Amino acid sequence: MPGKLIGLHEAAALVPDGATLSIGGFTTQRHPMAFVYELVRAKKRGLYLFGHSPGGDWDVLIGAGCVRRVELAYEADEAFNTVGPRWRRAVERGEIEWEDYSNFSMVARFTAGAMGIPFMPVRSLLGSDLVHKEALTPEARAADPRTAAKKTHVMDSPFDPADRVVLVPAIHTEFAVLHVQKATAGGTIRIEGQSYADVQMALCADTVIVTAEEIVEEDDLRRTPELNLLPFFAVKHVCQVPFGAHPYAVYNYYDYDPVQLKEYHESARDDAAYRAYLDHYVFGVRDHEAYLEAVGGAARLDGLRAAPDFGYSPGLKRRL
Amino acid sequence: MAAPEYSLMELMTVVAAREVADGEVVFAGTGLPMLGVMLAQKTHAPGCIIIFEAGTVASRLAHLPMSVGDPRAMRGAAMAAGLNEVFTYILQAGRVDVGFLSGAQVDRFGNINSTSIGADPRRPSVRFSGSGGACDIACLAKRTIIIAKHEKRRFPEKVDYITSPGWLEGGESRKASGLVRGGPDVVVTTMGVIRFRPDSKAPYLASFHPGLSPAAVAAETEFALEVGGAVETRPPSEAELQILRDVVDPERVFLK
């Protein structure tokens, strides 16, 4: 089969400095972490990230200095740490540009981009400072076509002037990178469990890169096409990356890794400790296989494997 | 029989869970609401329909999720889709009875800040996670339950940033903003239960937790809190505590 399969290193090299990018998953689930670590290892700079609820995928990119501007609703590993530690520091130190939205409005923005329309009306946001306040100045927006000209636009319905909505601008990115359970060499993908906003992110991007736990035969996924959420021709590149979301969870494959997350969040409190973390787990390893060995190899990873009846590891010790 | 012993965190969770009625559609945010809604499902509201924004509908939770996108939310779910489906067709369309939110900072009119501290949003002194789906839930659920640790600095007169709109400036201001429904029904804290007057939306203390006094709650609240009619909160039952500790959070993910 004519392949879309490429190596992870080669895939990450496609992303230039200053690129606009969205990353699939949700907080502590299904982020293409191996790809993210490749971006860090390649010392990418000036990235523009668009997301709803990223977690450590963004936090590590921000902490490693790869990011210039973000548009988001949330950045944290939820109950593992209620705010992304490097995101928090970057804002408080004035090292990053950002704009705040809500999850629904960010997803509406991706959806508008995916639908090929310029904006989406939502009934959310009204009365909140997500409408009334802006982190980016109008000058900063005007100076950079990678950011919409305006944050939001409040409008009364042309069909009923008593009915008010907020228009939010469509997102269009150069890249979307997803991590999924199964993919084929032809680009058909299978997401199991919650799909988050991966489909909308992919469909508003020029180039979609998918990393997958398993590469399977095209016929395997075409047997139940109703479960495939993206047309294969929207996917440009596919990488085979087992445990590619570690330390985050992939439904039906493995759970999040509380040991690794604890180490990340503890080291992220301190600049020197954080640099040491990156040196050890990102810069100090050659590739994803070496990363998996560095975190403890099979002894660690086998303990995270999902129980078939649950899709996660029911006995996992989560508070350490 | 001696009254059961419990922590204020346990009490807060039990009292907040009681606000969920059986059969209601509940859209629960991250953190303590996951604990509260799971307790409700395991006690008096087995038929409550739990929606998590990452895309699950009607989970029958076996293990407490640590994320609203947790694989644990898939357990027993009737549907799993994505954010767009639940936000658009369930929340925005008006199919959610109760939004269940936690509040880092909650002001006089139940507006929640989970964005940042500081007068200038471009130069905040402290940055939080951001809204996530909280703004959307606060805007679009038919009513909202807020759960929050009670400390004076967490209950200011006005929040620095309204991430999740409550009654805004009170009175008719929420309606005037264009929001089509909803608003905070109750704020359950580690000290008591705050509700809002029907017309003015002024906050009042509905109950104070056993061992505390109305004056003590008011003293820990920066905004003026009417405490005159407050009664003592009904303490957790043995059964509620047992289920909370042994079934809902045996790992002590949220409970200390």
Q: Give residue B2's pLDDT band: very low, low, confident or very high (50, 70, 90).
A: low
Mean pLDDT of the A124-151 span: 97
C-alpha closest to that of B203 among B111, B113, B133: B111
What stretches of A73-148 adopt beta strand conformation (E)? 97-100, 119-122
Per-residue pLDDT tens over the stretch A166-182: 999 999 999 999 999 99
Proportion of chain B in helix, strand, coil states, percent, rounded to 5: 25, 20, 55
CB contact under 8 A, B129 and A133: no
CB contact under 8 A, B69 and A27: yes
Q: Are B208 and B168 in contact (CB under 8 A)?
A: no
Asked, for residue A230, whether it belongs to a domain, the answer is yes
Nearest CB to A29: which of B67, B87, B127? B67
**φ, ψ (nearest 5 deg) of residue B182:** 80, -165
CB contact under 8 A, A130 and B135: yes
CA distances to A99, A122, A232 from A152, rounded to whole Å, are 11, 10, 33
Answer yes or no: is pLDDT of A2 > 80: no
Distance CA A305, CA A301 (A): 7
User: A88: which chain B residues are within 8 Å (Cβ-Cβ)?
Assistant: 126-128
CA dihedral A80, A86, A91, A93 (to 10 degrees): 140
Q: Which residues numbered 148-187 in B keep a CB inside 8 Å of some CB on A? A: 161-165, 168, 173-174, 177-180
Q: What is the pLDDT of residue B4?
A: 82
Nearest CB to B74: which of A84, A108, A311? A311
A27 CB within 8 Å of a chain B CB: yes
Give the chain B residue nearest A94 (alpha carbons).
Answer: B123
CB contact under 8 A, B71 and A310: yes
**How far away is chain B from the Cα of A2, in angstroms, using its nearest Cα?**
31
Q: Max Cα separation, chain B?
A: 57
Nearest CB to A312: which of B72, B83, B254? B72
Q: Is A273 helix (H, G, I), strand (E, B) or coil?
A: helix
Percent of chain A with pLDDT over 70: 99
ipTM of the complex: 0.98
Distance CA A159, CA B233 (A): 48
Distance CA B240, CA A208 (A): 49
Q: How many domains does chain A have?
A: 1
Mean pLDDT of the A280-288 span: 98
Per-residue pLDDT tens over the stretch B137-160: 999 999 999 999 999 999 999 999
When scoring A23, A26, A199 by the number of chain B Cβ atoms within 10 A, the one with the most, hence best to mutate, is A26
Nearest CB to B80: which of A108, A124, A193? A193
Q: Give residue B256's pLDDT band: very low, low, confident or very high (50, 70, 90).
A: confident
Please give the residue that has the higher pLDDT: either A189 or B1: A189
Q: Is B53 a catalytic residue?
A: yes
Q: Are B103 and B146 in contact (CB under 8 A)?
A: yes
A14 CB within 8 Å of a chain B CB: no
**φ, ψ (nearest 5 deg) of residue B14:** -65, -45
Residue that is written with structure tokens 């009625």 in the block? B21
Distance CA A260, CA A263 (A): 5
Q: Are A191 and B80 in contact (CB under 8 A)?
A: no
Per-residue pLDDT tens over the stretch B108-146: 999 999 999 999 999 999 999 999 999 999 999 999 999
- Positive or negative, the CA dihedral A222, A224, A226, A228 is negative
Report the CATH number at residue A68.
3.40.1080.10
Q: What is the pLDDT of residue B187?
A: 98
Give the chain B residue nearest A227 (alpha carbons).
Answer: B81
**How far away is chain B from the Cα of A15, in angstroms, using its nearest Cα?**
27
B53 CB within 8 Å of a chain A CB: yes
Neighbours of A174 (CB within 10 A): 17
Distance CA B55, CA A26 (A): 11
The residue length of chain B stands at 256
**φ, ψ (nearest 5 deg) of residue B91:** -80, -60
A103 CB within 8 Å of a chain B CB: yes
Give the chain A residue nearest B64 (alpha carbons).
Answer: A314
Per-residue pLDDT tens over the stretch B181-197: 999 999 999 999 999 99
Per-residue pLDDT tens over the stretch B198-248: 999 999 999 999 999 999 999 999 999 999 999 999 999 999 999 999 999
Asked, for residue A259, whether it belongs to a domain, the answer is no
Asked, for residue A89, whether it belongs to a domain, the answer is yes
**How far away is chain A from the Cα of B158, in angstroms, using its nearest Cα?**
13
User: Strand pairing of B56-57 and B49-52?
Assistant: antiparallel
Answer yes or no: is pLDDT of A1 > 60: no
Which tokens belong to A124?
Answer: 């959310």
Distance CA B255, CA B246 (A): 11
**Domain-wise residue ranges, chain B:** 8-248
The domain B8-248: what is its CATH number?
3.40.1080.10
Whether the ω angle into residue A247 lies within 30 degrees of 0, i.e. cis, is yes
C-alpha closest to that of B194 among B140, B154, B230: B230
Domain holding A54, by residue range, is 8-240
Total CB pairs under 8 A between chain A and B: 213
CA dihedral A133, A136, A142, A144 (to 10 degrees): -150
